[in-house]
């Protein structure tokens, strides 16, 4: 397990595009052409993308978008993607990055975070449930390659 205080979080930059693209292909390819999908999300100005690092080494990234309906007041955040290099999974990196993204969402007055995860992705489902996310609904054929998904949500309490 990594020490959480050793992680560095920073906004993604142009130089990170190749890392994000390659990691997306590595961890999301069974669900679709996510190396291209994620890059398209990055082109949208409203997407907040953060990199998690340890000792100048990228470990993963996460992408968050805030609802557009509520400019002022409370909002909902949607976690579009969270990807950790496979050799760093199950070491607390994902948990630290998710907690960081929740804090980012709170800074923008988000009171809830939503996400989708594949029904057959048991490690991710377990990870999100342990983090306090609850299943809201099921949708068949959600992903580009036709897999079913679960919508999950979590209330973001003030820290």
First and final CA of the chain: distance in angstroms? 24
pTM passes above 0.85? yes
- pLDDT at residue 123 greater than cutoff 60: yes
Angle between helical axes of 17-28 and 34-43 (0-180°, round to 10): 140
Pair type for strands 47-54 and 57-66: antiparallel
- pLDDT at residue 74 greater than cutoff 50: yes
- pLDDT at residue 141 greater than cutoff 50: yes
Q: Count the domains in the chain.
A: 1
Local confidence band at 2 (pLDDT 50, 70, 90 cut-offs):
very low
> 148 is in which domain, residue-wise?
4-155
The mean per-residue pLDDT over the stretch 71-99 comes to 88
CATH number of the domain where residue 49 is located: 3.40.630.30
Residues near 158 by Cβ (< 8 Å), separated by ≥ 6? Answer: 106
**54: which strand partners?**
57
5-51, pLDDT tens digit by residue? Answer: 689 999 999 899 889 989 988 888 777 766 677 777 777 768 899 99
């Amino acid at each position: 397990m990594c020490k959480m205080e050793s992680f560095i979080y920073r906004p993604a930059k142009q130089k990170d595009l190749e890392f994000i693209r390659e990691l997306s292909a590595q961890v999301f390819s069974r669900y679709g052409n996510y190396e291209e999908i994620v890059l398209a999300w990055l082109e949208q100005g409203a997407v907040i993308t953060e990199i998690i690092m340890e000792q100048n080494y990228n470990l993963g990234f996460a992408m968050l978008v805030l609802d557009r309906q509520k400019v002022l007041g409370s909002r909902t955040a949607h976690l579009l993607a969270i990807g950790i290099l496979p050799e760093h999974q199950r070491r607390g990196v994902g948990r630290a990055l998710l907690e960081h993204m929740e804090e980012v969402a709170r800074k923008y007055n988000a009171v809830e975070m939503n996400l989708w995860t594949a029904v057959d992705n048991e490690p991710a489902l377990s990870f999100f449930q342990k983090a306090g996310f609850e299943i809201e609904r099921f949708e068949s054929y959600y992903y580009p390659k036709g897999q079913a998904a679960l919508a999950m949500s979590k209330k973001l309490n003030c820290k």
